[in-house]
Amino acid sequence: MVSLGNDSLLCCLIGAIILVSQQYYISTSRELSRLLGVCRAPVIQHFAESLSGSVSVRSFDQENEFVNTNYNLSNDFSRIQFHIAGAMEWLSFRLDILSILTFAFSLIFLICMPYGIINPGIAGLAVTYGLKFDGIQTSFIWILCNLENKIISVERILQYSSIPSEPPLIVEDNRPDHSWPSKGEIDIVNIQVRYGLTMPFILRGLTCTFPGGKKTGIVGRTGSGKSTLIQTIFRIIDPAVGHIFIDGTDISTIGLHDLRSRLGIIPQEPIMFQGTLRNNLDPLDEHTDEEIWEVLHLTNPSSDSVTFFIVLKEYFID
Ligand SMILES: Nc1ncnc2c1ncn2[C@@H]1O[C@H](COP(=O)(O)OP(=O)(O)OP(=O)(O)O)[C@@H](O)[C@H]1O
Ligand SMILES: [Mg+2]
């Protein structure tokens, strides 16, 4: 005869097995959910890039390249989904077996009870409810596991919120004059720049002066740090050591907006944004058409380029 003590012991044992399986599954599925998030972003990003740049992709005859990259990224994403489905099946299988075992032992317990201890109607009702136990237990465990997986999104938000933010856009106590920089002299004093605390220095103790009102060329092999220097002047990365002075003002002491709005940059890669040429030249709409024309003429006053600009004016700007 199956005693009540033995049956409760069995229930505890089955409960413990469920908990162990759940913990085993959760540590795997948590990592898989993280990987899924990491693999999802490139698919979306590549798709959006391909859509917005479809004209350029076609004009350079790179459709196959983009289609292949898309396949590879989708495969990486699907691979993780496949593993997630596998892990889910692993847990489902074990939960089903444990539910069936619990149900079977409950039935044996009911059957083995001495006659008259339990009302047959109540026993029948217990068996009917026991049939549903399988589904209830499985969905309960699933909800717990899903909750833990979804909490990863909160974890990512926490990670992002702990990323150090940029220095202030405006430092009220130290705002440069309206006319700054009037000369454009850049004085670099012993700067050392690196992209991360654990990374090697790219610029090591650079000291030089770019005189104002002159054209200065910086040459160097690829990877020598030319773009890094420009990024340091714009304070996209701050130097670990040293200072940069523009017309005598230490750029590390003023706000980012004050600094960046007073400097201009023509990027190495020719990039144009969607919109008219005028939008691209003056995205913040701060200058008049006449001022823009003046600058265009100053950049290259040869007769050919002037004709080109006049054509542009007729078709794009107005
Ligand atoms: N965002 C980044 N994170 C880490 N390292 C970087 C980063 N950008 C550049 N580097 C490294 O810094 C070094 C200098 O790169 P940088 O882009 O400044 O060279 P460059 O002189 O502009 O080259 P190029 O002539 O090819 O434009 C390289 O070794 C590069 O790998
Ligand atoms: Mg560069």
Tell how far the Cα of 211 is from the centroid of ligand 2, in angstroms.
22
pLDDT at 318 over 50: no
Q: How confident is the model at residue 233 (pLDDT cuts 50, 70, 90)?
A: very high
Q: Whose CA is nearest to atom 6 of ligand 1?
A: 195
Between residues 34 and 268, the one the model is more confident about: 34
Lowest mean pLDDT among 1-5, 173-177, 314-318: 314-318
So what's the pLDDT on residue 194?
Answer: 94
When the pLDDT of each residue in the chain is averaged and rounded to a whole number, the result is: 84
Closest ligand to C-alpha of residue 228 is 1
So what's the pLDDT on residue 19?
Answer: 80
Q: Whose CA is nearest to atom 31 of ligand 1?
A: 223
Overall average pLDDT of the 252-276 stretch: 83
So what's the pLDDT on residue 65?
Answer: 94
So what's the pLDDT on residue 68?
Answer: 95
Q: How confident is the model at residue 302 (pLDDT cuts 50, 70, 90)?
A: low
Of 221, 228, 229, the one to substitute when testing ligand 1's pocket (max ligand atoms within 8 A of C-beta) is 228
So what's the pLDDT on residue 147?
Answer: 86
Q: CB under 8 Å to 227, separation ≥6 — which residues? A: 268
So what's the pLDDT on residue 13?
Answer: 80
For the chain, what percent of residues have pLDDT higher than 90? 30
Overall average pLDDT of the 287-297 stretch: 85
- Tell me the C-alpha distance between 18 and 93, whole Å: 11
Q: How confident is the model at residue 6 (pLDDT cuts 50, 70, 90)?
A: low
**Domains observed in the chain:** 4-161 (1.20.1560.10), 186-262 (3.40.50.300), 277-317 (no CATH)
So what's the pLDDT on residue 130?
Answer: 79
So what's the pLDDT on residue 1?
Answer: 45
Overall average pLDDT of the 111-137 stretch: 82
Q: How confident is the model at residue 317 (pLDDT cuts 50, 70, 90)?
A: very low
pLDDT at 255 over 70: yes
pLDDT at 186 over 90: yes
Overall average pLDDT of the 5-29 stretch: 78
Q: CB under 8 Å to 174, separation ≥6 — which residues? A: 253, 254, 255
Q: How confident is the model at residue 239 (pLDDT cuts 50, 70, 90)?
A: very high
Between residues 133 and 79, the one the model is more confident about: 79
With beta carbons less than 8 A apart as the criterion, state whether 39 and 80 touch.
yes
Pocket of ligand 1 (CB under 6 A): 195, 202, 220, 222-228, 268
